[in-house]
Amino acid sequence: MDPIAFSLGPIDVHWYGLIMGTAFLIATYVARYNTKRAGIDPDHILNMVVWIIPAAIICARLYYVIFEWENYADNPISALYVWKGGLAIHGGLIGGFIAGLTYGKIHNLPLFRMADLVIPSVILGQAIGRWGNFINKEAHGDVVSAEFMANFPAFIRDQMLIDGQYYHPTFLYESVWNLLVFAILMLMLYSFKKFDGQILASYMILYSLGRFFIEGMRTDSLYLGPLRVAQVVSLALIVAGLIILVYCWNRSKSNSSVNQKE
């Protein structure tokens, strides 16, 4: 597939950018839906997105470029070519979290409650965004046989045929995993949530579990010495998620006890 969707005069519009834009739009809609149902002004989501989107893109690109600097050192201006791919999701999450937290602090929004309402949108956006990697023929795994690829639809087989060899469509594995996590988080949000922070912590644990194993199959991982950066960060997020889960659960119990005494 041609990475350029169409051209407007001298301007080429890339599929990668269109897919990422679509991911942001759908994620924003779902977040507004969740906040509205929770009785929170959904306009906060639109205002927050104005902060989150640029912060997420800048940090995602910066994170990637830092670990791949040798590819940009001779032509630093190429670090700005985000439409060619090279956005690290963990960097985007860091930037988005900082921007969202800052907005929430300014407007006195409940941190864990808002995070629970927004986080399902984040994983849904990640699931959609992986198809941008598909168009750019990146985020794939190692070489596989034609017999193995026969299990996939023709359009995926064709796109994963690179220089005469087939490659593991790891972008697809992560997209499917993220959709599954999205479904679990939405079900939890509306049927099984017991305390604020539960959805956030569950996201950190579930997403990171899938990412850790899928990352081990990829051939384009960012490295810090011998370690795959995404796997190290995934393990750290799992631990942090467990800590948040225990903290929020204990805080919920404490608040319940105080309310019962009153």
Q: Is the pLDDT of residue 174 over 90?
A: yes
Predicted pLDDT of residue 257: 56
Give the list of residues 6+ apart from residue 168 with CB closer than 8 angstroms, or none: 140, 141, 142, 144, 160, 217
For 136, phi then psi, to 5°, come to: -85, 0
pLDDT confidence bin for 3, thresholds 50/70/90: confident
| Mean pLDDT for the stretch of residues 145-173 | 94
Question: What does the alpha-carbon distance between residue 162 and residue 167 come to, in Å, rounded to a whole number?
Answer: 7
Mean predicted lDDT score pLDDT of the chain: 90
Q: Is residue 168 part of a domain?
A: yes
Predicted pLDDT of residue 194: 93
pLDDT confidence bin for 202, thresholds 50/70/90: very high
Q: Is the pLDDT of residue 259 over 80?
A: no
Question: What does the alpha-carbon distance between residue 82 and residue 76 come to, in Å, rounded to a whole number?
Answer: 13
DSSP 78: G
| Residue of 2, 18, 15 whose CA lies nearest to 159 | 2
| Residue of 244, 197, 36 whose CA lies nearest to 44 | 36
Kindly state the percentage of the chain with pLDDT values over 90. Answer: 66
Look up the domain containing 143 and give its range: 4-190
pTM reported for the whole predicted model: 0.89
Q: For residue 155, what are its two tokens?
A: 């359009």
Q: Is residue 98 part of a domain?
A: yes
Predicted pLDDT of residue 215: 93
Q: Is residue 122 part of a domain?
A: yes
pLDDT confidence bin for 220, thresholds 50/70/90: confident
Q: For residue 76, what are its two tokens?
A: 């630093």
Helix (H), strand (E) at residue 4: strand 4-8
For residues 72 and 65, the answer to whether their CB atoms sit within 8 Å is: yes
For 41, phi then psi, to 5°, come to: -55, 115
Predicted pLDDT of residue 107: 93
Q: Is residue 121 part of a domain?
A: yes
Query: What would the pLDDT profile of 88-131 be if each residue is shown by its tens digit?
Result: 888 889 999 999 999 999 999 999 999 999 999 999 999 999 99
Q: Is residue 66 part of a domain?
A: yes
Query: What would the pLDDT profile of 203-212 be if each residue is shown by its tens digit?
Result: 999 999 999 9
| Mean pLDDT for the stretch of residues 68-87 | 75
Q: Is residue 196 part of a domain?
A: no
Give the list of residues 6+ apart from residue 47 with CB closer than 8 angstroms, or none: 103
Q: Is residue 206 part of a domain?
A: no
Q: Is the pLDDT of residue 84 over 90?
A: no
Q: Is residue 20 part of a domain?
A: yes
For residues 202 and 240, the answer to whether their CB atoms sit within 8 Å is: no
Predicted pLDDT of residue 63: 85
Handedness of CA 107, 109, 111, 116 (dihedral sign): negative
What are the distances in angstroms from CA 76 to CA 71, 72, 79, 138, 163? 9, 5, 6, 21, 28
Handedness of CA 129, 130, 132, 138 (dihedral sign): positive
Question: Number of folded domains in the chain?
Answer: 1
Query: What would the pLDDT profile of 40-76 be if each residue is shown by its tens digit?
Result: 999 999 999 999 989 998 898 888 888 887 778 777 8
Give the distance from CA 209 to its chain's centroid. Answer: 13
First vs last C-alpha separation in the chain: 64
